[in-house]
Amino acid sequence: MLKMSNISKIYQTGAVEVIALNKINLTVEEGEFVAIVGPSGSGKSTLMNLIGCLDIPTQGEYWLDGQEVSKLSDDELADIRNLKIGFIFQGFNLLHKLSALENVELPLIYRGMNAKERQERALRALAKVGLEHRLHHKPSELSGGQQQRVAIARALAGDPPLILADEPTGNLDSVSGKEVLASLQELNQQGHTIILITHDTQVAERARRIIRIQDGSIVSDERMG
């Protein structure tokens, strides 16, 4: 499903070289629920950007769903993000001028899907997260937990092989946070591959595999149960 070999990311700021990731090797199989844990500055954000195809590595190979993506152009990466990855962010990152339904339709618009199919898919995704009665609400009219579920629906709508969640509970109260994590677990049980990035070990424990990262290297990789 996902294979990184010898991935390094080096930032050049003036004369100083900062090694954010140092020769990472990582394989994730289809259907896994992986948590990547590490303190801030450990390189986990950089790793998530690379996994999410928002950025390309300085060195190494990255195979995602059978495709080598480490040397693609910006627009090619946009296509990969659109087709293969569903993002869930800490700050929800919904467009506040669009309704829940329109937010969920957005990735499908960029896919060039026709209006009818787009709407059907968006409705199905929103129903999956239990928001079929909040279709025409703007994000500002929804609670934090509901907003995050809209974001999950958006990630699901395009039916991507990989769902990437970056601190999905970071902005939520504990009740909403638990709801969101429960949704993610449910999605995983339905067969979606999920990578969760967090600094919170309690959140990470929901996953079936925990990868700890520190100073740009993987320090432990343990499978639960």
Listed ranges 1-9, 75-83, 122-130, 211-219: which one lies at the site for another protein (CB under 8 A): 75-83
**197 φ, ψ to 5°?**
-115, 125
Quote the longest CA-to-CA distance of the chain: 55
Q: Which of 1, 19, 106, 135 binds another protein (CB under 8 A)?
A: 106
User: Is residue 95 involved in binding another protein (CB under 8 A)?
Assistant: yes
Helix (H), strand (E), coil (C) string for 148-168: HHHHHHHHHHCCCCEEEEECC
- Half-sphere exposure (Cβ direction) of 199: Cα atoms closer than 13 Å: 10
The piece of 92-100, 122-130, 174-182, 209-217 that touches another protein (CB under 8 A) is 92-100
- Which residue lies nearer to another protein by CB, 126 or 210? 126
**Cβ atoms of 70 and 64 closer than 8 Å:** no
Q: Does 119 bind another protein (CB under 8 A)?
A: no
User: Containing H/E element for 120?
Assistant: helix 115-128
Q: Which is nearer to another protein, 137 or 178 (CB)?
A: 137
Q: Does 174 bind another protein (CB under 8 A)?
A: no
Sequence length of the chain is 225
The piece of 63-71, 88-96, 124-132, 172-180 that touches another protein (CB under 8 A) is: 88-96
CB burial of residue 31 (10 Å; 0-12, 13-18, 19+): middle
User: In the set 18, 115, 219, 224, which binds another protein (CB under 8 A)?
Assistant: 115
Residue 6 CB, nearest approach to another protein (Å): 22
Residue 162's nearest CA partner among 101, 103, 80, 220 is 80
From the list 8, 89, 123, 185, which residue makes contact with another protein (rule: CB under 8 A)?
89
Residues that bind another protein (CB under 8 A): 49, 52, 54-55, 74-75, 78-79, 81-83, 87, 89, 93-95, 97, 106-107, 109-112, 114-115, 154, 158
